Structure 1
Amino acid sequence: MNWETICNSLSSEDRFCAPIEVSGVEYDSRRVESGDVFVAMRGESTDGNQYIETAVTKGATAVVTDSREAYAKLRHEHAKVGAALVERGRRALAEVSSAVMGHPDRELALSAVTGTNGKTTTAFLLETILRSVHRTCVLIGTIETHVGLEVRVSPHTTPESRDILEIFAAGVKVGATEAVMEMSSHALEQERVWGLSVDVAMFTNLTQDHLDYHGTMEKYFAAKARLFSGVGSPPPRVAVINDDDFWGGKRLAHSSLQSEVMRYGMDGGDYRSEDVVLRAGETTFVFKTPNGDVPIRSPLTGRVNVYNLLAASCAALARGLTLEEVVAGAASGSQVPGRFEVVPSSLGFTVVVDYAHTDDALRNLISLARDLVKKHGGRVITLFGCGGDRDKTKRPRMGKAAGEGSDLVVLTSDNPRSEDPMVIIQDALIGVRETATTFIVEEDRAGAIEIAIRAARIGDIVLIAGKGHEKVQILKGGSIPFDDVAIAADVLRGTA
């Protein structure tokens, strides 16, 4: 593609639009190849402008920068290299990437979900329902990325715009017409999704999380709410909102939305669940809508998944499916990795791995487990830890949530990152000690999993919370392989 065309489309303060052909776009100098445009932008942990020289040396034929000093130096030292000075590097990255890749985002109907809890399961469910009517999809989320039938590892919940658009382009090549994305509050605030036109936007809920980054719940909500006003694009055509959640039903739904609004809930909303029946491995309810009522059955478990099913079902209706197609699609779903994932065992008790890493998610998880064991008088054993270098105020709340709902708490390490694991554990213990529940402290997570499982009796549920689908543990010295499901399975085999 011609650099002049790209250059003239940018909202730049200054530019050198030489007649140069460009073949790709990169923001990471390590990935630059000959013919690429290098977008140098200030990030949260590093400044890409420090790597302009490296990018040019590797063959970048044009550079977009958000640094006036870097732009002046580039024009002085590399006069033949195309250049553009912009105010916002991330916006420019999105604009250049879309142009170079042929605007693949325009070929896909995008459904996006945001919220503290439920994003991953809701996204998986919506993709499953869409695929059940033979629509080819792209899925971008926390656990994995799907390009048609191809499954890829997801390094981030929401990647940078260049990487999103590359995935979209791959999807278009295999005939995809739909895209489903999780959009995190960080990505929305940092404008990693700049310019993406969202057709259906979903809001699951908002509970305290990420305050180490956002500072207050109001700012956290404001970041999430950007999805519904459009991030460099028009507002979504349809907004699907959890009417039972305060921030959704009372705040977002009553803001100046320019979208068609579909409210869902177990207690309120125009799209509701009634006659809910929860069993291990099955959830059923009547889906009541303005256009009729239908029975929904899903292999997912628990009250929280009723909300996820409602959100995905509403989004599927918004994408043109019939109620009958939604019913069939919901029934065809399968267990989502790390979301109430049952580890197979024949020992008479249940071991579940779940991503719950906030006090609200932990409380919901334990409540579900309590409902499942109460018929047989079983106990709930909860293993959890708290992440390091994250919001410290939620640690005692998580401890209290675990203690209030469990019969035994095993407190351990999660992803301590740069912090001392025992310091994190002591913070969480403050909340556990507010309850009368028996607890065990074991810093080593693998050892803690063994303790929790060996403490179980017939009829009990062991909850291994916090890491879910993750395959590594992040320590001060780096990441090590760690899989809660695999470790639990090994302990179960040794216990049998």
Structure 2
Amino acid sequence: MLLATLVEHLEFSILQGDTNTNISSIAFDSREVVPNGLFVAITGFTVDGHQYIQRAVELGATAILVEKDIKVDAPITILKVADTRYAMAHTSARFYSDPTENLNLIGITGTNGKTSTTYFIKSILEQSKRTVGVIGTIGAMVGNQSLKTKSTTPTTPESLHLQHMFADMVETGVHDCVMEVSSHALSLQRTAASRFKSGIFTNLTPDHLELHNTMEEYFEAKAMLFDLTTDYNIVNIDDEYGRRLAAKISSNQAKLVTYGIENEADIRATDIRQYADYTSYIAHTPTGSIAIQSNLPGLIYVYNSLAAVACAYCNGISLDQIAAGIRAVESIKGRLEVVYQDDDRKIIVDFAHTEDSLEKALSTLRPFTKGRLLLVFGVYAAPGQLGSGKRQAMGKIAAAYSDIAIVTSDNPKDQDPDTIIAEVSAAVEAAGGTYRGIVDRREAIQYAIDISEKDDVILIAGKGHETSQVIGKTEIPFNEAEIVNEIMSSK
């Protein structure tokens, strides 16, 4: 494809060469450059792609997109743009023939609930015999088949990989794609060239403040999704930030559809009944009401399945298919997932890694725990005051809802795990809780199992679906479901 075609909708200046050159591929990692490729120099948090331009040229790049005044002693084209991330999103979309023009793309954003909402929607759409693609925290898939991807980002891939995945979906006959959209992705322009037909907002609670600095910046990052939609914006108006968002986007092109429990909304849940292993309620929509059963217990999954009801309503799905789709979701990996159960104890793994999600997980389990509620958890947060606030908040929640909190490591990365555990433990103690600090996460799980008694419930929180742990710069295998069952099989 001609470079001129790739960049025709971008504002740029030509530092050298011209745009009349054929491009065979796009790369933002210089190691992946091939002959006649376009290299996009991205300024990252720790690495500046401009430092690798010479390497890209040596590997055969014939064109470079930059943000800085660069000159290379080689017969190549260099284009300067204001934001190479934005430019990469648009050139990638064009390179892959604008695949989201041929997809019913549904984006879900919010602090908590993105993954479960995604899988509820996927199941509902599959009830109407559609082939559905999913991109999110647990991975990318079409139907039940995983998609191969080079992406290493935890939720929303870089724009180049994202557009490639969309193109693969279109090629395989996918009509609908449901995608988790992180605040990082929105801020870093990964979704800039994606055409969303619907956007969903679940909630907003403190998280990722190491990137956004304040809740206001975090909110504004999330709100960016709803300026990318064309048909529907679906918002939880029981959430304080959801109400703000609804007011902010009320005049947008996309129709505003609200959902909630406490406030009057377009889609509303009443008659909520909670049990140990499921929750039931009545969903009210403009086209009628239907009894819903979610096999994931807790009020949070009423909200998340209700968001799916709202999305399905907007997509013209029948009420019977909506109810069948939600009921068909037996479990979601790492979301209140029972990984072991016998007559004496139940062991549950959950992704809860913020104070809000930890509180919701513990408060869901508490009423149905006959014995003690044992919590194994760690806290990963940014260094400094922001991280300290999160550690103290989660320590207080652990004290309020668990009988014994075993404080351990999550993904400490370059932080000192002993320091983190000491601060969280101090918060548990200050709030009147009982705790034990154990740095090694496997040992912490072993300890919780060893001290558990009949009718106890053990919640292992923070990692959920993740199958590795990052200590320093080393990523080690760490599958909590497997670890639990290895320990139990040896008893």
TM-score, reference length from structure 2 = 0.94
Find the counterpart in structure 1 of residue 286 from structure 2. Answer: 290
Report the residue type matching 1:378 in the other structure. G
Find the counterpart in structure 2 of residue 274 from structure 1. Answer: 270
Find the counterpart in structure 1 of residue 239 from structure 2. Answer: 245
Give 3-state SS (helix, strand or coil) of 2:341's partner. Answer: coil
1:425-464 superposed matches below 5 A: 425-464=421-460
| Matching residue within 366, 369, 379 for 1:370 | 366
CA contact (8 A) 2:469 2:476 kept: yes
CA contact (8 A) 1:200 1:240 kept: yes
Structure 1 residue 277: Cα displacement: 2.0
Find the counterpart in structure 2 of residue 122 from structure 1. Answer: 117
Find the counterpart in structure 1 of residue 54 from structure 2. Answer: 53
CA contact (8 A) 1:147 1:170 kept: no
Find the counterpart in structure 2 of residue 311 from structure 1. Answer: 307
1:338-377 superposed matches below 5 A: 338-373=334-369, 377=370
Give 3-state SS (helix, strand or coil) of 2:469's partner. Answer: strand
Find the counterpart in structure 2 of residue 205 from structure 1. Answer: 203
CA contact (8 A) 2:136 2:156 kept: yes
Structure 1 residue 434: Cα displacement: 2.3
| Matching residue within 330, 333, 336 for 1:334 | 330
Find the counterpart in structure 2 of residue 165 from structure 1. Answer: 163
Tell me, in whole angstroms, the C-alpha distance in 2 between the residues paired with 1:484 and 1:95. Answer: 40
Give 3-state SS (helix, strand or coil) of 1:61's partner. Answer: strand
Tell me, in whole angstroms, the C-alpha distance in 2 between the residues paired with 1:256 and 1:161. Answer: 25
Find the counterpart in structure 2 of residue 12 from structure 1. Answer: 12
Greater Cα offset, 432-441 or 108-117: 432-441
Find the counterpart in structure 2 of residue 138 from structure 1. Answer: 133
Report the residue type matching 2:189 in the other structure. E
Report the residue type matching 1:121 in the other structure. S
Report the residue type matching 2:348 in the other structure. V
Structure 1 residue 421: Cα displacement: 0.4
1:64-83 superposed matches below 5 A: 64-68=65-69, 70=70, 73-74=71-72, 77-79=73-75, 81-83=76-78
| Matching residue within 391, 394, 403 for 1:395 | 391
Tell me, in whole angstroms, the C-alpha distance in 1 between the residues paired with 2:194 and 2:339. Answer: 38
**Structure 1: 4+ residue segments shifted above 6 A:** none
Find the counterpart in structure 1 of residue 223 from structure 2. Answer: 225
Tell me, in whole angstroms, the C-alpha distance in 1 between the residues paired with 2:312 and 2:249. Answer: 24
Tell me, in whole angstroms, the C-alpha distance in 2 between the residues paired with 1:18 and 1:188. Answer: 29
Tell me, in whole angstroms, the C-alpha distance in 2 between the residues paired with 1:236 and 1:383. Answer: 43
CA contact (8 A) 2:448 2:458 kept: yes
CA contact (8 A) 2:408 2:444 kept: yes
CA contact (8 A) 2:204 2:219 kept: yes
Structure 1 residue 309: Cα displacement: 0.2
Find the counterpart in structure 2 of residue 381 from structure 1. Answer: 374
Tell me, in whole angstroms, the C-alpha distance in 2 between the residues paired with 1:372 and 1:162. Answer: 46
CA contact (8 A) 1:148 1:171 kept: no
Tell me, in whole angstroms, the C-alpha distance in 2 between the residues paired with 1:379 and 1:488. Answer: 18
Tell me, in whole angstroms, the C-alpha distance in 2 between the residues paired with 1:93 and 1:148. Answer: 28
Please list every run of 5 or more consecutive structure 2 residues that lacks an aligned counterpart in the other structure. Answer: none
CA contact (8 A) 1:8 1:17 kept: no
Tell me, in whole angstroms, the C-alpha distance in 2 between the residues paired with 1:42 and 1:31. Answer: 17
Find the counterpart in structure 2 of residue 216 from structure 1. Answer: 214
Tell me, in whole angstroms, the C-alpha distance in 1 between the residues paired with 2:327 and 2:45. Answer: 42
Find the counterpart in structure 2 of residue 187 from structure 1. Answer: 185
Tell me, in whole angstroms, the C-alpha distance in 2 between the residues paired with 1:236 and 1:406. Answer: 45
Taking structure 1 as reference, are residues 172 and 149 closer, same or farther at Cα in structure 2, changes over 3 Å only? farther
Tell me, in whole angstroms, the C-alpha distance in 2 between the residues paired with 1:301 and 1:407. Answer: 21
Tell me, in whole angstroms, the C-alpha distance in 2 between the residues paired with 1:430 and 1:284. Answer: 39
Tell me, in whole angstroms, the C-alpha distance in 2 between the residues paired with 1:91 and 1:65. Answer: 11
Report the residue type matching 2:237 in the other structure. D
Tell me, in whole angstroms, the C-alpha distance in 1 between the residues paired with 2:80 and 2:105. Answer: 30
Tell me, in whole angstroms, the C-alpha distance in 2 between the residues paired with 1:105 and 1:263. Answer: 25
2:149 maps to 1:151: no
Tell me, in whole angstroms, the C-alpha distance in 2 between the residues paired with 1:364 and 1:18. Answer: 54
| Matching residue within 102, 108, 121 for 2:103 | 108
Find the counterpart in structure 2 of residue 27 from structure 1. Answer: 28
Tell me, in whole angstroms, the C-alpha distance in 2 between the residues paired with 1:423 and 1:299. Answer: 39
CA contact (8 A) 2:340 2:348 kept: no
Report the residue type matching 1:216 in the other structure. T
CA contact (8 A) 1:123 1:182 kept: yes
Give 3-state SS (helix, strand or coil) of 1:353's partner. Answer: strand
CA contact (8 A) 1:132 1:332 kept: no
**Percent identity among equivalent residues?**
37
CA contact (8 A) 1:414 1:473 kept: yes
Please list every run of 5 or more consecutive structure 1 residues that lacks an aligned counterpart in the other structure. Answer: none
Structure 1 residue 62: Cα displacement: 1.7
Find the counterpart in structure 1 of residue 172 from structure 2. Answer: 174
CA contact (8 A) 1:14 1:86 kept: no
Query: Which digits, 9 at most, give the CA deviation of each residue in 1:270-291, with x for residues without a partner?
Result: 3111122222332211111222
Tell me, in whole angstroms, the C-alpha distance in 1 between the residues paired with 2:191 and 2:380. Answer: 26
TM-score, reference length from structure 1 = 0.93
| Matching residue within 473, 481, 486 for 1:490 | 486
Structure 1 residue 389: Cα displacement: 3.6
Find the counterpart in structure 2 of residue 261 from structure 1. Answer: 256
